[in-house]
């Protein structure tokens, strides 16, 4: 199947990044969200990020204008029905994702490919609730989407080869690299990354080190570009906790038990950068550790 039009569900951090790279690669994009305000905010951010690429001479001013012109928005989910490929990038809650696919089904073309940008939820289970499990797969971008080079492609148990190849072709057209992952909790990146972040939270919880000393140790001692607690704040502590719960529930191994301190931060609404407080406080001129 030759993919020309892409529907993106969710205009948040991941959705607007996906719309950005798809439009830049020449696809006509229809971006959906439940509120007009979210869509306007997303378009403004895409414009700002494209402008940054122009200033760094990554793209030309003409490319920026053409890419912006390729993105249309809608608050009506059924409008995405005629697109060739749909990428769901809504909140990391299975009930929400399943409801989105259920609402989309009556409006889809028979050949439309459905995908989810989920970072950990079972692709096979999501696919089973649709009328096209063979044309359903995981399409997991990394954050921030315009910068990160990897896309995980996850086959469900029923995903057919033409669907995989069509999605692989899209990834290559974006100038990104695809990693093929099997459908097990967390796939590849989060299966490895989240337990490391969780262990860093345990290290803080048990008083082995402070926020600053843990992050500095991993940056300077393991050459990581960001410390694990700083990275957790960037990802969102609610997302980290959700993925740890998926790993713990899906693999039934105590090594994936979420740290109680991570749960406490989420319960407090301290979710990281997006709420201005997490392991760091972002309300001042410079981030300050909260422990």
Q: Which residues are catalytic?
A: 119, 140, 152, 190
Interatomic CA distance for residues 120 and 190, integer angstroms: 7
Residue 168 to residues 47, 145, 174: CA-CA distances in angstroms?
27, 16, 10
Strand partners, 150: 177
CB 208 within 8 A of CB 221: no
**Which residues are within 8 A (CB) of 55 and not within 5 positions of it... i.e. 6 or more apart?**
none
Q: Do the annotations mark residue 7 as ligand-binding? A: no
156 φ, ψ (degrees, to nearest 5): -80, 175
Q: Please check if 143 is assigned to a binding site.
A: yes
Answer for the pair 49, 63: CB distance below 8 angstroms, yes or no: no
Cβ 138 vs Cβ 159: under 8 Å: no
92 is in an annotated binding site: yes
3-state secondary structure of 289: strand
- The reply, when asked if residue 221 is annotated as ligand binding, is no
Is 32 part of any known ligand binding site?
A: no
> Distance between CA atoms of 161 and 171, rounded to whole angstroms?
15
207 annotated binding-site participant = no
For CA atoms 246, 247, 251, 252, the dihedral sign is: negative
Length of the chain: 291
Annotated binding residue 10 = yes
**Residue 269, annotated ligand binder?**
no
The reply to whether 109 sits in an annotated binding site is no
Q: Is 222 annotated as a binding residue?
A: no
E-only strand ranges, the chain = 5-9, 28-32, 71-74, 85-88, 113-116, 136-141, 150-155, 177-181, 280-281, 288-289
Distance CA 238, CA 274 (A): 11
Give the 3-state secondary structure of residue 141.
strand
Would you say 58 is a known binding-site residue? no
- Binding positions: 10-15, 33, 92, 97, 119, 143, 274
Annotated binding-site ranges for NAD(+): 10-15, 33, 92, 97, 119, 143, 274
């Amino acid at each position: 199947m030759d993919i020309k039009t892409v529907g993106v569900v969710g205009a948040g951090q991941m959705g607007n990044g996906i719309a950005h790279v798809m439009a830049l690669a020449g696809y006509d994009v229809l971006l959906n969200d439940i509120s007009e305000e979210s869509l306007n905010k997303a378009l403004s951010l895409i414009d700002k990020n494209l402008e940054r690429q122009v200033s760094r001479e990554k793209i030309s001013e003409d490319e920026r204008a053409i890419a912006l012109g390729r993105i249309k928005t809608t608050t009506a989910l059924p409008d995405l029905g005629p697109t060739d490929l749909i990428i769901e990038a809504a909140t990391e809650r299975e009930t929400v994702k399943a409801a989105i696919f259920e609402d989309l089904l009556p409006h889809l073309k028979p050949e439309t490919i459905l995908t989810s940008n989920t970072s950990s939820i079972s692709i096979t289970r999501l696919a089973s609730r649709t009328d096209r499990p063979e044309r359903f797969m995981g399409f997991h971008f990394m954050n921030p989407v315009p910068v990160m080079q990897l896309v995980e492609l996850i086959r469900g148990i029923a995903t057919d080869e033409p669907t995989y190849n069509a999605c692989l072709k899209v990834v290559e057209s974006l100038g990104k690299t695809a990693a093929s992952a099997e459908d097990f909790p967390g796939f590849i990146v989060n299966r490895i990354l989240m337990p490391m972040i969780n262990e860093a939270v345990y290290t803080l919880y048990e008083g082995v080190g402070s926020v600053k000393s843990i992050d500095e140790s991993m940056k300077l001692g393991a050459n990581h570009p960001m410390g694990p607690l700083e990275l957790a704040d960037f990802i969102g502590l609610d997302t980290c906790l959700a993925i740890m719960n998926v790993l713990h529930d899906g693999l039934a191994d105590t090594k994936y038990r979420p740290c109680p301190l991570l749960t406490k931060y989420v319960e407090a609404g301290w979710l990281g950068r997006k709420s201005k407080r997490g392991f760091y406080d972002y309300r001042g001129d410079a981030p300050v550790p909260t422990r």
